[in-house]
A and B are shown apart, each in its own frame.
Chain A
Amino acid sequence: MKYFAVTVLGAIFAFLLADFMLAQPSSPQSTSLQASLSDAGGNATAIAFKHALHGDSIGLDCAHCHTGAKTAAHAYMPSKSDCIDCHRLPLTENPGIETLDSALSVAPSEPWVKKSMLPDHVQFHHGVHTVAGVSCDECHGNYKSDSYGGEKFDMRTCLACHRGETDASRNFKRAATYCAACHR
């Protein structure tokens, strides 16, 4: 009798555990190269991508890797082949470069997983905003510290600039605020 009760309670606990596990939301997508490289390759010595080493310091513009950021509707997220374009040759004397080469060789071809959160009734043209003089860090403020995701874009953020409320501090022109400018 005692064992029966233990078995039943154990079964209940197992169900609760199963329910809890199944109800968990899927784990968040890895947003940095470091995370996805170590996940995919099983390589413990993963390399972190540092915007600071790839941007202004070596004279590269954002649009060099994120092609289309200045002209097209969407800014492209580079894949491994874009890294390899430059990294097929040892670029520095840095001893870490060998680690990088081995890590890149096992890395998946698309190291970044990017999911647009924009609903299909909203239109956002990246190029127009860049051309209008909005600098990258106005919206992607944390890219220099290499932490990705978590930017909060909502209609209020859009409208603050479009209505000219950020005029004084950032010197932006007013932009269209009629519904059909962004919505369909």
Chain B
Amino acid sequence: MDRREFIKVCSVMAAAGLLYGCRKIPFVGKASSDESLSRAIPALKDFEDEVEKAMARGGKNLDLVKVPMPSILNASDADLQNRFGMAIDLDACNGCGKCIMACIVENNIPLVTEEEREKDRFMHWIKMRGDAPFMCAHCGDAPCEKVCPTGAANHTPDGLSAMMYKRCAGSRFCGANCPEKARKFNYNDAEELGLLRKFNAEVPVRGKGVMEKCSMCLQRLQNDRLRFKAEHPFNEWRGRNVKTACAEACPRNAIIFGNWLDPESPLVKAAKHRELFAPRSIAKFDPSVVYMRGRR
């Protein structure tokens, strides 16, 4: 092979290599738009059907024991003015399940695959258990938060067991340590599988490998807090304008959201003269979400 021949071969090979490297360039724009089109977005009906299926399967009845009314958190940074919580009125609730649907729409909760549905693994943050909704009780002394290796599960001073999704590494220790299994793990990339519909722009979508659970509509509380602080800088915010999505959706007003430390709160007014209960397994952890029944 002479010198010219050698250069020729090298040039042809280099050109071929470049062509190979550039093969995708003309399709870049097209390919990405096709991809976004193929990603299906489920209809509202699909979510309703899934709620129906979850309700039909039901869950273990709650084993309730009496608890005192929640008071100031036992924490060094506890807020002395606010501790948010809910009371579920067992005398009023008829287990219609409208709260589950409202929660899905508020918090962008994805559908699950057929296979998981068969295993009774739904992503719903609320589960019907013996005709009463059950969600994370936001325990004051939460066992889930103690085992989180990254600090993604932590407590706010005003009594919410919060979840920082970007910090979650997916160890699932929290889920294992919750006696009532109120946490749900994202086994799938729901967006990729076309199981997600982004109803509410205020709530970020959780990715694959992240634990999630009831946030007590953190976004509603924080948005109201910020709005209030900007408009009334010298007043104390007590979260009086806020209602969680489930409480808002309940047709019988059986879920009451409010501030346990505010005597003006509808929650305290409703719970004052009632017997309060919590599931036996978490009663000792100072839950913020309790059940009420009968008169005291």
A residues neighboring B (CB under 8 Å): 1, 4-5, 8-9, 11-12, 15-16, 18-19, 22, 70-73, 120-121, 123, 125, 127-128, 130-132, 176, 178-181, 183-184
Contact = CB atoms under 8 A, between A and B. Distances in A.
Contact of B22 (A1, A19, A180): A19
Given A5-B11, A8-B8, A120-B204, A178 B156 contact: yes
A123 B11 contact: no
A145 to B, nearest CB: 28
A168 B22 CA distance: 57
A152 to B, nearest CB: 20
A176 B157 CA distance: 9
A117 B22 CA distance: 31
B15 A12 contact: yes
A127 B231 CA distance: 8
Which of B151, B203, B227 has the largest number of chain A CB atoms within 10 A? B227
Given A12-B11, A22-B25, A178 B154 contact: yes
B132 to A, nearest CB: 27
A108 B18 CA distance: 41
A183 B219 CA distance: 9
B165 interface: yes
A72 B77 CA distance: 28
B226 interface: yes
B66 interface: no
A5 B4 contact: yes
6 contacts: A12-B11, A19-B21, A120-B204, A125-B227, A179-B164, A180-B156
Nearest to A124: B226
Contacts of B8: 1, 4-5, 8
A136 to B, nearest CB: 15
B218 A180 contact: yes
Interface string B165-177: 1110000000000
Contacts of A180: 154, 156, 160, 162, 164, 218, 222
Contacts of B22: 15, 18-19
Interface of B: 4, 7-8, 11-12, 14-15, 18-19, 21-22, 25, 77, 151, 154-157, 160, 162, 164-167, 203-204, 215, 218-219, 222-223, 226-227, 229-231, 233
Contacts of A15: 15, 18-19, 22
Given A5-B8, A12-B15, A121-B204, A179 B154 contact: yes
A108 to B, nearest CB: 24
B76 to A, nearest CB: 12
Given A178-B156, A183-B166, A8 B11 contact: yes
A131 B154 CA distance: 28
A127 B229 CA distance: 9
Contact of A127 (B160, B166, B230): B230
Which of B18, B21, B155 has the largest number of chain A CB atoms within 10 A? B18
A71 B231 contact: yes
Contact of B18 (A16, A22, A183): A16
Contacts of A19: 18, 21-22
Nearest to A15: B18
Nearest to A130: B230
Nearest to B21: A19
A70 B25 CA distance: 47
Nearest to B232: A131
Contact of A8 (B15, B19, B218, B219): B15
